[in-house]
Amino acid sequence: MDGIEEFLRLLEDGVQHSISDLAFELGWTVSKTKKLAVFLQEHGLVRYLSSDDSVILDPELLSLMRET
């Protein structure tokens, strides 16, 4: 679970991040990072943009995270 939390914390700034940059920051492979992004998108937590291989936190989740 710690990896998911760290992934989401990296997105907490509300800007779009490339999968490769996130993978580097997390010390993960690009493949693992992309799989998590797709999984989190399927559950409505992030928006994965396959066109430029990037991810951004869902605006509603971002709002909730900023409240806490």
Going from N- to C-terminal start, the domains of the chain cover 2-67
* Burial class of residue 9, CB neighbours in 10 A (0-12, 13-18, 19+): exposed
CATH number of this structure's domain 2-67? 1.10.10.10
Instruction: pLDDT tens for the chain, 68 residues: list them.
Output: 478 999 999 999 999 999 999 999 999 999 999 999 999 999 999 999 999 999 999 888 878 777 76
Tell me the pTM.
0.86
> Residues, the chain, total?
68
